Amino acid sequence: MNITCKLSVCPVFELLERGEVLEVPTDTPLSESKAWTYFRDVIQGIEYLHYQRIIHRDIKPSNLLLGEDGCVQIGDFGVCNEFHGSDASLSNTAGTPAFMAPEALNNSTFSGKGQLVDCCQLHLTRQF
């Protein structure tokens, strides 16, 4: 495939036609084993993002997509941030309120660590 782009950065994403993990039709309920496999996929995805110095800031069920290979991938990078050093210091809130850290909701001058924000959202997503 040859793609020509006049911009210096041209993101190309895989089309995940199966859609959101929780919206994929199945004949049986999601097994505990499969749920843990999906959760592991998300943890590995977040670990990779943090290794690449990216904070997602909007981890939630509707941003977890199922690939044809059965692996879960993270989508919607609209509010993500790049950071330098060991972690991001966030000075504002972003993301979906239902999946935000409580301290981010209660404090208009929120100052938090980016990696912890993603981890809190992951925990809330797991409880969903």
Q: What are phi and psi of 94, to 5 degrees?
A: -155, 160
d(CA 124, CA 98): 8
Place of tokens 């199945």: 26
Tallying the residues shown for the chain, one arrives at 128
The pair of three-digit structure tokens given for residue 69, joined into one six-digit string: 């290979």
Backbone angles phi, psi at 119, to 5 degrees: -65, -40
In the set 27, 41, 58, 118, the catalytic residue is 58
Active site residue 41: no
Catalytic residue set:
58
